[in-house]
Structure 1
Amino acid sequence: MTQVNKDSKIIIVGAGVFGLSTALWLAKSGYKSVTVFDQQPYFTNSYRDGADGASADINKIIRFSYGKEIEYQSLALEASHIWDEWNQELANLKQSGEDAGLPPGLSSGDKLWFNSRMLRMSASESYGEFEKETLKTMEKEARLREKQFECRNEADIQRAQESGWGHKVDPFHRKELGRAHSAVLDSTAGFVAAGRSCLWALHLCRKSGVNRTDGSVYGIETEDSRSHSADLIIVACGGWTPTLVPEISRSLETTAGSIVTVQIPQDNQELWDRYAPENMPVFTWGMREGRGMYGFPRMEDGIVKFGYRATKWTNYDDINGKPLSVPKTAHTSKRETNIPLTALHAVKDFISEYLPELTPLGINSTRLCWYTDSIDNSFMIDHVPSRPGLMVCSGGSGHGFKFLPILGREVVKIVEGGKKNVYGEMWRWRDPKEGGKNNGLEEGVSGPRVLAKQKMASEKDWSFGGSSRL
């Protein structure tokens, strides 16, 4: 492990959540020479503008539901306080009438995080073990359990109504329709505007003295053939990490979730109001029951996003003679703008059953969102064994974005070495169990999740029709 000091030159490869949070906290901790490299101009931090990373998505969930994993619950709770502070900082800029050098795409007064609440729905008539464990674990955090409202508990429903969000306990009118509805409303949760939040983090990094360079990075040589030396290199490239650091490929796998959006026209006042964050919560359905569905209120432009993660797709390619799963986005050389037909059908079935008023609008867009899953869904942040001066900071496993304001604080502790605390131990370098289950990584190129084996949907499949199959 390379020893660093405040004058050490540190390069971070990747300007997503993990890279930006690390850069920000290194600067906060007094490190004077921190440079972030990314393959794309980061001021186009939206997938619509050509950004590939998961961090450039429309929105991400802020949740505190982690089953028995109280460490993640506690860290998410800490992060939520900083999300509040960031919202207030932008509001203060609005009041002062200045943008203070904000990057394009971000304006004073913009909100980053929306406390829309979150409805955790079971696909069956009873709570699964994960939900039961979540409620137990939340009892250990001050006042967190009392902000959970069980839809089958009349006292909880009454409390929610008195608090002003009773309408979010059953926004799909399941009980009114005589259908099963087993769910818990978390009044502390919600969502963040993802790309906008990264722009804010980048702004804070620049204010703190972090340097920023665009250009595809191969090791420490950019595509302009310039070499960049450093005392420490931190690879935080999300889905591209296993390709750049082959040693980690046994423990991290690049996978895609499926994204579907519906566009609500602003002149449809009824739907516009119904799907506003004030009226519609973030929702998940059957996440631990093989259904893997989630969705959001509409954004300011009327986009309603749905996600499907029941199957985490892989895309294998030959990388230096080794088969590795790599991102296949709308902006890579091997373009992919569609999602598997299985995923599209799952989302359409959910909408038809739970939100039938959206079916006349049809599907607006689909895309794949590429993550990096670890063998146990916990992050991988550590020095690379036998390669002094190199670290990985990855393995977000689809739940890393909420930690943008706080993750780097823990990364700095790992950078500096010494005795590892609870997060250092959780995120340490670890290899898969031989012959065991490793979150699907053991499937490899012959597994059933490979994109090349799927029938892909196209625009002709976007219209609704037929009966629901839920």
Structure 2
Amino acid sequence: MTIQPASKIFIVGSGVFGISTALWLARSGYNDVTVFDMQDTKGSGYNPDAGIDSASADINKIIRFSYGEEIEYQRLAFEAAKIWEEWNIELQESRTEDLPEVLRTGSRKLWWNCGYLRMSDGAEYDAFELKTLENMKKEGIRESQFMVDNEIDIQRAEQSGWGQKLDPCNRKSKFGVHKAVLDSSGGFVVAYKSCAWAQHLATKAGVKFLLHPSKGKVVHIQATEDGKPVLEMADGTTHHGDYVVVAGGGWTPSLVPEADGLLETTAGSVSSIRLPDDRPDLWERFSPEKFPVVSWNMKTKGIYAFPITEQGVLKIGYRKTKYTNYQDIDGRRISVPKTAHVTDDKEANIPLEALEAAKDIISSNMPELTELGISSTKLCWYTDSIDNSFVVDFVPGKPRVAICSGGSGHGFKFLPILGREVVKILEGNGKQTVYGSMWQWRDSNNKIRNGLEEGEQGPRVLGKQRMANETNWSFT
């Protein structure tokens, strides 16, 4: 049983997975698609400063193509990059009065090709980096990569204008060694504006939205005798459809009990530093024109930093430890988000170990920022899968309920193209595609299952952490 063009399709969640699916459904001829969300992402323009709590509603996200042995994700990322370029052009050519409010001011640029510097903390390149370079060479795109200790690559970087971004943290002079690869095809996107643009395109294509804290909040998904989904809303109303796609980010496991053991809601930690207006030297130093996205040993340290935003905010992310938050949900103990604004049980701080990791990276690599101190922190709630690969498939035993989740911290870059593959899966053609096979419902017999084997007794539970607060923001 698969969807048809006349099917009444519900999508739960207006983040990257939901909005990309809605857009591609509409553009594929489906004319009865409705997106539900408990947050008014349209009225707020997904702006996190407006109190929107989701992984998609962020100031920026990394665009990278380094995937080690996972060449399928590498290829999909490069396909997405072409559409990011097209979106930049489309947005710049749009009439101001035709755009959502959030896109009418500031730069009309979603995708910034500032480069992505993958830095090692030791004297050797790890296996993941070497495998990435090998795959880049196989795909004929090795010329976009610059090894900072390779004389030929250094010369190529200097000649092509990338030389100043080979060692922006002066690690060679500070530590005597600097092992890194600069990916000149990488960079970042302005996340909240990108989602607002995709939502704008989906609206133009005919997608309907119900975005409201009670009317748009799905609390249960039931089914009629013939299996058709019935959405039960927080305000007591119900919606009857033909199919539903659950793409609720960190709230997905609470709506799909069958996903227990396959998905887990976890939080990364974000710290930000706001540059003062009277420091043009710092604004220039950390601008996208001078500073790339940088990461330090993502497999072991899990730290990354961005150039500043238009508002002068420099974001540092910590993903080494992915925190969980277990609560009772319909008789189950599962991890659910604990955010600054949306959830009943709120948290605006991050664990002290995450804050100290961010401060340590800043002190050793960007010491000129230490006098400013941390300006803000937040938990960014994702949904991890058992193997860090997405989950896009119909729920076993529920042929009219599909799940579209498991971003595992690397899904945003696929916003322009993810829905294309989702539609194939919903139409029953996914198993014939590489992504349909990769993202199908699955389990694992491995002892190590990306942390999902730990459960509530594991060390990552948020309630077991010592939380930081504003008194810890200073570098003194």
Report the TM-score range of the alignment, normalised by the length of the smaller protein: over 0.9
Higher mean C-alpha deviation, range 5-14 or range 213-222? 213-222
Query: Shift of residue 408 of structure 1?
Result: 0.3
1:373 counterpart SS class: strand
Q: Matched residues in 2 for 1:462 and 1:21: separation?
A: 37
Structure 1 partner of 2:210: 213
1:199 counterpart SS class: helix
Matching of residue 429 in structure 1 with residue 428 in structure 2: no
Higher mean C-alpha deviation, range 416-425 or range 195-204? 416-425
Structure 2 partner of 1:248: 259
Which letter does structure 2 place at the counterpart of 1:141? E
Query: Shift of residue 176 of structure 1?
Result: 2.7
Structure 2 partner of 1:115: 113
Trace 1:185-204 onto structure 2 (pairs within 5 A). Answer: 185-204=182-201
Structure 2 partner of 1:406: 417
Q: Matched residues in 1 for 2:437 and 2:296: separation?
A: 31
Q: Deviations for 1:22-73, whole angstroms, at most 9, x for unmatched residues?
A: 0000011101101111111112212221111100011000000000111000
Q: Matched residues in 1 for 2:277 and 2:147: separation?
A: 33
Matching of residue 311 in structure 1 with residue 313 in structure 2: no
Query: Shift of residue 158 of structure 1?
Result: 1.1
Higher mean C-alpha deviation, range 350-359 or range 177-186? 177-186
Q: Matched residues in 1 for 2:53 and 2:260: separation?
A: 20
Q: Deviations for 1:116-162, whole angstroms, at most 9, x for unmatched residues?
A: 100000111111110011001111223x2111000111111111111
1:241 counterpart SS class: helix
Trace 1:364-375 onto structure 2 (pairs within 5 A). Answer: 364-375=375-386
Match of 2:269 among 255, 258, 263: 258
Q: Matched residues in 2 for 1:338 and 1:3: separation?
A: 44
Higher mean C-alpha deviation, range 48-57 or range 13-22? 48-57
Which letter does structure 1 place at the counterpart of 2:142? R
Query: Shift of residue 178 of structure 1?
Result: 4.6
Higher mean C-alpha deviation, range 40-49 or range 396-405? 40-49
1:24 counterpart SS class: helix
Higher mean C-alpha deviation, range 199-208 or range 209-218? 209-218
Structure 2 partner of 1:149: 146
Which letter does structure 1 place at the counterpart of 2:65? F
Q: Matched residues in 2 for 1:426 and 1:192: separation?
A: 26
Q: Matched residues in 2 for 1:457 and 1:176: separation?
A: 33
Which letter does structure 1 place at the counterpart of 2:119? M
Q: Matched residues in 2 for 1:160 and 1:229: separation?
A: 57
Match of 1:163 among 154, 160, 164: 160
Matching of residue 320 in structure 1 with residue 334 in structure 2: no
Structure 1 partner of 2:228: none
Match of 1:271 among 271, 282, 285: 282
Structure 1 partner of 2:22: 23
> CA RMSD for the aligned pairs?
1.1
Which letter does structure 1 place at the counterpart of 2:126? G
Query: Shift of residue 301 of structure 1?
Result: 0.1
Structure 2 partner of 1:468: none
Q: Matched residues in 2 for 1:398 and 1:62: separation?
A: 12
2:399 counterpart SS class: coil
Query: Shift of residue 243 of structure 1?
Result: 0.2
Q: State the TM-score, normalizing by the size of structure 1.
A: 0.96
5+ long unaligned stretches in structure 2:
222-230
Q: Matched residues in 2 for 1:208 and 1:125: separation?
A: 52
Q: Matched residues in 2 for 1:458 and 1:311: separation?
A: 18
2:174 counterpart SS class: coil
Matching of residue 238 in structure 1 with residue 249 in structure 2: yes
Q: Matched residues in 2 for 1:62 and 1:83: separation?
A: 10
Q: Matched residues in 2 for 1:197 and 1:153: separation?
A: 36
Which letter does structure 2 place at the counterpart of 1:15? S
Higher mean C-alpha deviation, range 413-422 or range 377-386? 413-422
Q: Matched residues in 2 for 1:178 and 1:436: separation?
A: 38
Trace 1:276-291 onto structure 2 (pairs within 5 A). Answer: 276-288=287-299, 290-291=300-301
Q: Matched residues in 2 for 1:384 and 1:194: separation?
A: 29
2:117 counterpart SS class: strand
Which letter does structure 2 place at the counterpart of 1:36? V
Q: Matched residues in 2 for 1:62 and 1:353: separation?
A: 25
Match of 2:307 among 294, 297, 300: 297
Q: Matched residues in 1 for 2:110 and 2:260: separation?
A: 33
Structure 2 partner of 1:225: 236
1:277 counterpart SS class: coil
Structure 1 partner of 2:227: none
Q: Deviations for 1:46-102, whole angstroms, at most 9, x for unmatched residues?
A: 222111110001100000000011100000000000000000011112xxxx22521
Query: Shift of residue 233 of structure 1?
Result: 0.2
Match of 1:126 among 124, 127, 133: 124
Flag as ranges the 4+ runs of structure 1 deviating above 4 A.
Answer: none
Structure 2 partner of 1:66: 67
1:110 counterpart SS class: coil
Which letter does structure 2 place at the counterpart of 1:72? Y
Q: Matched residues in 1 for 2:146 and 2:135: separation?
A: 15
Q: Matched residues in 1 for 2:334 and 2:25: separation?
A: 31
Query: Shift of residue 266 of structure 1?
Result: 2.5
Q: State the TM-score, normalizing by the size of structure 2.
A: 0.94
2:103 counterpart SS class: coil
